[in-house]
Amino acid sequence: MAKKLSMRLSACLNALSSLSRIADIGTDHAYLPCEGISKGIIDSAIAIDVIDGPLAQAKATIADYGLADRIELRKGSGFEPLAIGEVDGVVIAGMGGKLMTHLLEDGMSVAESMELLVFQPQGGEFALRQTLLIDGFKIVDEQLIEEDGIIYTIIIAKPTKEEDYINRLDLIFGPVLRKNPQDELFIKKWTDELKSIEEVLAKIPEGNPKYAEFENKKMLIKGVLADANC
């Protein structure tokens, strides 16, 4: 039973097109691996979730697609159910960036063995990018996808073990995304963020410990948006 993937999940799946066997961490209904195999984008998958309910839903989806012989279900947290070398890459979509960071740190030995890692965080991009760059991963691509009025960020990384200079602007805006500040979605995302910050600053006193933090980020965003208008 074919299921139309959301735009964000389709973008994550397409980022994995060079791989054969992938893991989908936090698989939920397992739509991504099922569609990936049925469309010939990937060959096989391990679908992982930590909760019984989503695993039961994933099992039903896999049965509907007739892919029980090509998608293995496993229960566990993050990379924990995976052994080194079992898959070529991984996708983690639809959870907070800070949670993704914890899962990555806990499963570092497995993550380092993969060719490609695709993340679609729901916020917390700064922490995720920071962990990736500190731990020897290179962010090779980033995308912004707008769906139902929400702009999602997709981060694609690969292990390199090369030391790299970590720029704070790259952590906030994305080392790939900020190379094209005139991108329509990039401008929209950060214009909306600037508006939200200004609304917060209007409500808190300058003596508040958070005031300087928000003010600093406001100035950084204004600078990047100024580059977009050049």
Residue 214 phi/psi, 5° resolution? -65, -40
The pLDDT score that the predictor gives to residue 127 is: 95
Q: How confident is the model at residue 108 (pLDDT cuts 50, 70, 90)?
A: very high
Span 111-133, average pLDDT: 96
Q: How confident is the model at residue 221 (pLDDT cuts 50, 70, 90)?
A: very high
Give the pLDDT confidence of 183-205 residue by residue, as tens digits: 999 999 999 999 999 999 999 99
Which residue pairs, CB below 8 angstroms and at least 24 apart, start in 5-11? 5/31, 5/32, 5/35, 6/147, 7/145, 7/146, 7/147, 8/93, 8/120, 8/145, 8/147, 8/152, 8/154, 9/93, 9/120, 11/120, 11/143, 11/145, 11/154
Region for residue 76 given its phi and psi (left: phi exceeds 0; alpha: psi -120 to 50; beta: otherwise):
left
Least confident residue range of 102-106, 115-119, 160-164: 160-164
The pLDDT score that the predictor gives to residue 230 is: 65
Give Cα 59 to chain centroid, integer Å: 24
The 3-state DSSP class for residue 189 equals helix
Average pLDDT value for the chain = 94
Q: How confident is the model at residue 209 (pLDDT cuts 50, 70, 90)?
A: confident
